[in-house]
Amino acid sequence: MIQFLDFQFDEVQTILFKDAQVIALNSTQSKLLALFISKPEKIFSKDDILTEVWQGKVVSEQVVFQNISQLRTIIGDNAIKTFPKKGYQWQPELTFIEYSKEQQTGAPQETPIVELSDELEADITLANKRVNTPPLHSSEIKTHKPYTRIIMGCCTLLCLVFGTFYFIDKYEQQGAFKNAFAQSIESQSSVEQTPAVHNDLIYLPFTADSARHFQEDIDELHLALDFATASDELDVREFVNSPYMQYQQLNPNDALIFTGILKHNADTSTRKHMPFLLELIVQGPERSWVSYMYGASMPDLADQVKALIETLASTNYFRLKSESLLSAELALINERVGSSLHVLPLLAYHLIDDDKFDSASGYIELLLTESELKHPLYYAYGKWLKGQLYNGKRDAINAKTYYEQADLLFSDAHIYDLQAEVNKSSAELAHSVAHNKEDFDVIRRHLYKAASLARLGKKPVAEIRAYTLLSIKASKFGMKKARIDYLIQAKTLLAEYQLDGSHYMLPMYHFAIFAETLEERIKFYHAVLDKPVTPENYWVFFSTADNLSKLYLKENKPEEALEVIEKITEPARSALLHAQYYRALNDTDKAINYAKRSFNIGRGQHMNWLSLNSALILLELNQAKGESHELAEYREFIADHATEWWLSWRKDRLANVGIDIEEQMAGL
């Protein structure tokens, strides 16, 4: 990304931004701008420009004059200087926005890309719906390390000495409350019984968007964080890109690890009184948390961090294994702290995900009311969530309206990373109402913009995800070459940013789906299974095991299929794969037993998609045996829980067991 005047130019996509808004350029103007920027010291003659931009096409010199004049109108009259009888030269000073990566050893090796075919594997599982993960869960961040070893050594020593005593005292005071709170959580669920007691807190020294401008502020913030143990065992940049993987590497025995990124507040209405914006990232055993805090000073921010971290440390949020219990847990946290702006967005998101739209709507309105004048980021976030709410209710018109409002609000506050996520949501919405290949242009514009904004916001994981989504969408429109090109771009960026192997799982999964031969497909699926597993990519891991075991069974290789299935240790999913396995081997009794196990465990954990598939298998197996007992229970579950998408996906199989799809959809 290149900065000049009030503009940013994305060299990769040749897209021009002004304050994060795309400035419309035609392809000739984009090429001409890229040419001037590529060699700003050079005076380009008319022949140079004709050769580089028009590449041999016969055009008049007047066309060159017109395009240069148009660029001057957009950027400024003095942007391109005319040298009589010589040519044209770029004038504004250029600043290259780069990521100052430290040299690393052991960077992930690139998987060789073999030649791929144009055939698409038809059985893409339901889990593909989880490609677009919420940014409050996934810390898709790139940052710098702005401190020296000497300064941080002093900070670490001070925090170890003073923080330890403070921390012990605080936990002795809070012990009684924590035990009572843990018991209240246990009473909510028979599934999760582990008390929420965290032995300590560990923080990684905070960093900043601009280390040069924030060095003294960061040092002051570190000294103010006197309630937790500091650690320099992990690289901050790696942690914010892959918090779960780094957490596992440190193995902190149930502690919470947290760090933050300090930024300027760019919102004009609040920055006078709150000049700082802090992005706080917290990682626990099962999941992460991201919050945003505006502050007047470093002590102010430190106090906010302490209050939130101490609240989170006394909850079960980071330990719950079942996603279905998160809404209840977040509601308890929100009730305890009194409608916190940090809790409301996440609570609303989970309620939308659970199709509890009325409850979600109430929390979103509360978020908008509480944040409108004092927290521009969460106000924009509320607009985005409202778009998600309408999208879940299949109201595309209102969803588009609120996405556009959120995009503009995030742009005004220069919060590029979340603006990128809004554009991903807009791309998904455009895809849901698309009818032909021409509609793909709208999707592509949103995802190109998302990739560029993610780069501006220093979020490499989000940038890579945008290209992966482009590949998936291109595939759905039958664009066979484009789907591979976008995947290759995603994989190239993975190597460029030196991200760990867990981030390779999703691109490898789609390389497998797009592979031409069975040998290629199996090779890529095994490459997926060899990657590190995280809570965010577990669905890819499971889907790969599902697809690969089916391939092996189809090829009459049951031993290989069983070896793959046994990689899945989660009980409900494992039971489903075993049911499919024994069904393929015509062992109906074992298949029914495993399908019942999958159905009951999945239902108990509110994993409806899994229980729906198990219920359908049970209907098919019992029908094949000529038995009708217990079938009403499975039919009733499908009637109560099936979505329109699932009914359409399984319509042929449902018809074979006597379920009327049209009647089911009419009842939705």
What are the counts of helices (DSSP H) followed by strands (DSSP E) for the chain?
29, 13
Distance between CA 71 and CA 73 in Å, rounded? 5
CA distance 402 to 445: 18
User: Among 296, 321, 346, which residue terminates a domain?
Assistant: 321
Q: Which of 117-126, 334-343, 409-418, 610-619 has the lowest mean pLDDT?
A: 117-126
pLDDT, tens only, 336-375: 887 789 999 999 999 998 889 999 999 999 999 999 989 9
Q: What is the spatial distance between Cα 480 and Cα 116, in angstroms, rounded to a whole number?
A: 10
For residue 186, being part of any structural domain is answered with: no
Instruction: Report which of 18, 52, 60 is spatially closest to residue 34, judged by C-alpha positions.
Output: 52
Adjacent-strand bridge partners of 281: 259, 290
pLDDT, mean of residues 488-503: 93
Is residue 37 one of the residues assigned to a domain? yes
Give the domain extent around 79.
Answer: 2-96
Domain end among 42, 61, 96: 96
More confident residue, 38 or 582: 582
Give the residue from 96, 123, 153 where a domain finishes: 96
Q: How many distinct structural domains can be found in the chain? A: 2
Distance CA 227, CA 242 (A): 25
Q: How confident is the model at residue 550 (pLDDT cuts 50, 70, 90)?
A: very high
> Token pair of 619, please?
């209907």
Q: Are 133 and 428 in contact (CB under 8 A)?
A: no
Mean pLDDT of 437-445: 89
Kindly tell me if the per-residue pLDDT of 313 is higher than 50: yes
In terms of Cβ atoms closer than 10 Å to its own Cβ (0-12, 13-18, 19+), residue 180 is exposed
- How far lies 284's CA from each of 177, 255, 307, 319, 351, in Å? 20, 7, 17, 7, 22
pLDDT at 95: 84
Residue 193: per-residue pLDDT: 34
In a domain, 222, yes or no: yes
Confidence of residue 629 (pLDDT cuts 50, 70, 90): low
Does a structural domain hold residue 410? Answer: no
Q: What is the pLDDT of residue 182?
A: 34
- In a domain, residue 287? The reply is yes
Residue 200 pLDDT: 78
DSSP β-bridge partners for residue 8: 3, 17
Is 469 within a domain? Answer: no
Residue 158: the pLDDT is 40
Q: Which residue has the higher pLDDT, 314 or 132?
A: 314
pLDDT in tens, 180-210: 333 333 333 333 333 333 457 888 889 988 7
Task: Say which CATH number the domain at 84 has.
Answer: 1.10.10.10
Q: Which helix (H) or strand (E) holds 151?
A: helix 149-158
| Mean pLDDT for the stretch of residues 613-631 | 83
Q: What percent of the chain has pLDDT over 70?
A: 82
Does residue 307 form part of some domain? yes
Q: What is the pLDDT of residues 32-55, one digit of tens each?
A: 898 998 889 999 988 888 888 887
Q: Bigger pLDDT: 170 or 4?
A: 4
Average pLDDT over residues 590-595: 95
| % of the chain residues with pLDDT over 90 | 51
**Amino acid found at 145:** K
CA distance 572 to 561: 18
Q: Is residue 541 part of a domain?
A: no
d(CA 9, CA 604): 51
